[in-house]
Amino acid sequence: MKLVFAGTPEVAVPALDALIASGRHEVAAVVTRPDAPAGRGRRLVASPVAERAEEAGIEVLKPNRPRDEDFLARLREIAPDCCPVVAYGALLPRVALDIPAHGWVNLHFSLLPAWRGAAPVQHSIMAGDEITGASTFLIEEGLDSGPVYGTVTERIRPTDTSGDLLTRLAFAGAGLLEATMDGIEDGTLKAVPQPADGVTLAPKITVEDAQVDWSAPALRVDRVVRGCTPAPGAWTTFRGERLKLIQVTPRPEVTDLAPGRLSVGKNNVHVGTGSHAVELVWVQAQGKKPMKAADWARGVRIGAAETLGGV
């Protein structure tokens, strides 16, 4: 089939690579978000998908909005059979959805109908799911509600961050998306409506969502830190300034610390929660680079009764 691929961040690149390398389909163009300011200089930078497409000599379309008439006109000229999508980042209007003969097919990083929305991987870790996966589905105007073509499953490991899990799903999902394109082309694959039961929502994780509540159980604290790593980054406060929490480890054997209370040993830093303690492993103070928590604690000289989070 002739394809127009839509995607923006690094997580979409494995799927684009798989379709380019497939030899069965032609990636005629790529649709991505406009260049965005990045880095300290706030210089405009092309998206990872745009950079990969340009390397491959593929036409790149960067509409401000997918309903822009010049974009729609170019899409009609290309006349794609199907438009595979991975983390494009903009809502597609009906007028765009109707252009390809086989519609727009999204690779979503959950087992639908679970975790519909912008942050399925973060929510699955924060909820304590043991299994997740990826789904390909036909995009409709509802939120991730279209019929499903196929799925792959992935076990969530006890130490997975959302970054770790998303990387694995990006590569597993790339193979799923390629197989979905093959099945649509040869007519062997039909989309199946999602069940009405089991719908959960995964809205974008805000900075406020990523603040650690030390009165919560240690298991919850660990899940929030892992789910918010690398973005938006779990955090707490120390002496009135924000402290980013990069890695913690539950310590069930340490049960004598009140929520938020710090305890510094020779090579470790424990903090109390609503159940047992967690060990701070990696942290990042405001304006500093990430460092081992023990090194941070030595540098700030934590007092005997100090706490995190203003507890």
Establish whether 308 is an annotated binding residue.
no
- Which positions ≥6 away from 143 have C-beta within 8 Å? 116, 117, 201
Amino acid identity of residue 278, one-letter, is: V
Q: What does residue 269 show for φ and ψ, rounded to 5 degrees?
A: -135, 120
Contact 133, 154 (CB under 8 A): yes
b/e sequence 69-91, b meaning 16+ C-beta within 10 Å: eebbebbeebebbbbbbbbbebe
Residues 253, 254, 256, 260: what is their CA dihedral angle, to the nearest 10 degrees? -140
Establish whether 259 is an annotated binding residue.
no
What pLDDT, on the 0 to 100 scale, is given for residue 311? 59
Contact 151, 135 (CB under 8 A): yes
Establish whether 165 is an annotated binding residue.
no
Neighbour-count burial of 234, counting CB atoms closer than 10 A to its CB (0-12 exposed, 13-18 middle, 19+ buried): buried
Distance, in Å, from the CA atom of 32 to the CA atom of 49, rounded to the nearest integer, reads 7
Establish whether 110 is an annotated binding residue.
yes
Q: What is the pLDDT along the chain (311 residues), one digit of tens a residue?
A: 999 999 999 999 999 999 999 999 999 999 999 999 988 788 999 999 999 999 999 999 999 999 999 999 999 999 999 999 999 999 999 999 999 999 999 999 999 999 999 999 999 999 999 999 999 999 998 899 999 999 999 999 999 999 999 999 999 999 999 999 999 999 999 999 999 999 999 999 999 999 999 999 999 999 999 999 999 999 999 999 999 999 999 999 999 999 999 999 989 999 999 999 999 999 999 999 999 999 999 999 998 889 999 75
The DSSP bridge pattern shows strands 26-31 and 2-7 to be: parallel
Task: Count other C-beta atoms under 10 Å from residue 189's C-beta.
Answer: 16
